[in-house]
Amino acid sequence: MIIFLNICLTILGRNWAALYVVILLANFHFAWYAECHFRNSCAAAQSTRTTDNRDPLNPETCDVDNSRCGYDKHEISCVDSNKKCAKWALKGECAANPRYMNKNCPASCRKCRGIASDGAAEGRGEGFSASPHRSVPLRPSDLPGPTVFSSFGANYTIDLPAGRFIVAPGTVKRVNRKSRSSISSDFFVLPSLVERSNIDEVLTLLRNYASENAFDEDPDTVDGMPTYEIFLDNDTIRGKQAEKGGKPLDSDSRALLTRRPLREKLNKIIQPILNDKVTPFVRAQYPDICDGEKGRKCTPCYSLIRRYRHGERQSHAMHHDGHAIVTVVTSLADYGLEYLGGLYVSTGFSQKEYLSLNKGDSVAHQSTLLHGVQVLEKDEEPESTERWSWILWYKDSETCDDYSYEWFQECAEGGDAICQQLHATKATQIPGITDHQKAELVVKWNKLAASGGAGTSAVKLGYAYLKKLPSPLPFGM
């Protein structure tokens, strides 16, 4: 650019008006060239990456189609007086903030709106095909559908008292900022573990039950949504004092008595499944924690059936099952026919991958797996969307005593941020320690977890410093 100006000065001398026009044209052409050069370089860099590693939200994610950068000599694209316009347009600001962008960045919005995002989404096979000249707002139907988990390991078989069954192992990486080593959570899917005839019997009983008190609708402890569930086994039903207060309906002796016949019929169907399939699998799959000394073998201490339905609850927020050493979920509905979405697993960075569970498929996992439920409505007859699931929470005690203060200690001491976060919720139950020691342990493990990337622990610490949670920490930061 400097050499070009020197040549102009030599040729034009002191003809300042002509020189000014030349400089304006040079700047205009240079802006066009720089923008296109920037995008071409970026496109070249992007083309060397796998499509899954291209970030659609990054303004430097460019389309590899050079023709979109205005090679027609009569057309200059992506150039506005504000040099940031092109990047804003590529990030989707034309749709998000149309009044400002159409006024101040018309060229960028006309030519570059959403090019990067569209190209990246198409490259990942997500089915998003919005035009770069889109003139209507983005609609829900334009968004990609649910991502189904497919990265299973090699299948294997396991022999149980009821026969031989296939196991499909899956793994998701976990949050751990301090260590770049691969820390992950495993889960195991057993296709068709429960026979469809058994499921049909269970659903017939539930649907035909006349009482309006068939399902609990109290606020869920995870997200406060109505539960729409019925417990088949828990502390209250066994005549033991319930943890955390139990279920409101079952605390009423009349309601407890009213639902007893239904529970007896349901348990008559599912108890053989527990004895011959589910519990033997849990103990065999997790021998170190579930098949140890006498009295400490893993036992299903909580059994419940939950319903998700159009017009009712359709989600269960992302969470860890801190109250169970092992969880087993069995789908009582068919994926694609009765519902979409459903149970998903997550890394903690907002990614959700759904398990396309059909009727009778079961999945087992431990507490460290971050997961949730989001039932999505079917494309056809969305009002008939319905998902039922049978949930089992195991403890490492044949009498369902609570040893959860032991569950996460070893991996917490090993530096696992999620284990540290979970152990912080259990350390207060360690026998024989004082209230002061309990408070110190909660703070200690939440601090370690937060420094390792566990967001929930970071939030709890903030509340503790602000005295919104009881703690020995000083007010402030």
Domain membership flag for residue 248: yes
Last residue of a domain, one of 351, 370, 395: 395
| Residues 120 and 190 both lie in one domain | no
Compute the distance between CA of residue 314 and CA of residue 327 in angstroms, rounded to an integer: 20
**pLDDT value at 209 more than 80:** yes
| Residues 133 and 248 both lie in one domain | no
| Residues 391 and 415 both lie in one domain | no
Write out the residue range of the structural domain in which residue 343 sits.
Answer: 156-395
Among 62-66, 201-205, 371-375, name the one with the lowest average pLDDT.
Answer: 62-66
Q: Cα separations (Å) of 412 from 320, 423, 429? A: 15, 7, 16
| Residues 12 and 69 both lie in one domain | yes
pLDDT digits (tens, 9 = 90+) for 24-65: 444 444 333 344 443 444 444 444 444 444 444 333 444 434
- End-to-end Cα spacing for the chain: 52
| Residues 286 and 175 both lie in one domain | yes
| pLDDT band with cut points at 50, 70 and 90 for residue 425 | very high
| Residues 215 and 356 both lie in one domain | yes
Whole-structure pTM value: 0.69
| Residues 161 and 35 both lie in one domain | no
Q: What does the pLDDT average to over 258-274? A: 95
Last residue of a domain, one of 377, 395, 413: 395
Compute the distance between CA of residue 1 and CA of residue 23 in angstroms, rounded to an integer: 10
Return the higher-pLDDT residue of 32 and 333: 333
Compute the distance between CA of residue 93 and CA of residue 113 in angstroms, rounded to an integer: 8
> How would you list the strands of the sheet with 229-233, edge to edge?
156-160, 163-173, 184-190, 362-366, 326-331, 386-395, 299-309, 229-233
Q: Which two tokens stand for residue 76?
A: 């200059």
> Which range is most confident: 83-92, 109-118, 430-439?
430-439
Reference 421, options 393, 458, 394; nearest CA is: 458
H helix runs in 274-352, sequence order: 279-285, 287-290
Domain membership flag for residue 48: yes
Q: Which two tokens stand for residue 328?
A: 């087993």
Domain membership flag for residue 470: no
Domain membership flag for residue 149: no
| Residues 347 and 420 both lie in one domain | no
pLDDT digits (tens, 9 = 90+) for 110-135: 754 444 333 333 333 333 334 444 45
| Residues 304 and 287 both lie in one domain | yes
| Residues 251 and 129 both lie in one domain | no
Tally the domains of the chain.
Answer: 3
Compute the distance between CA of residue 417 and CA of residue 169 in angstroms, rounded to an integer: 23
| Residues 52 and 26 both lie in one domain | yes
CATH number at residue 360: 2.60.120.620
Domain membership flag for residue 472: no
Among 98-112, 264-278, 291-305, 388-402, name the one with the lowest average pLDDT.
Answer: 98-112
| Residues 122 and 243 both lie in one domain | no
> DSSP readout, 182-221?
--EEEEEEETT-S-HHHHHHHHHHHHH---TTSSB-SBPT
Compute the distance between CA of residue 312 and CA of residue 390 in angstroms, rounded to an integer: 18
Q: What does the pLDDT average to over 405-415? A: 94
Last residue of a domain, one of 368, 395, 422: 395
Domain membership flag for residue 279: yes
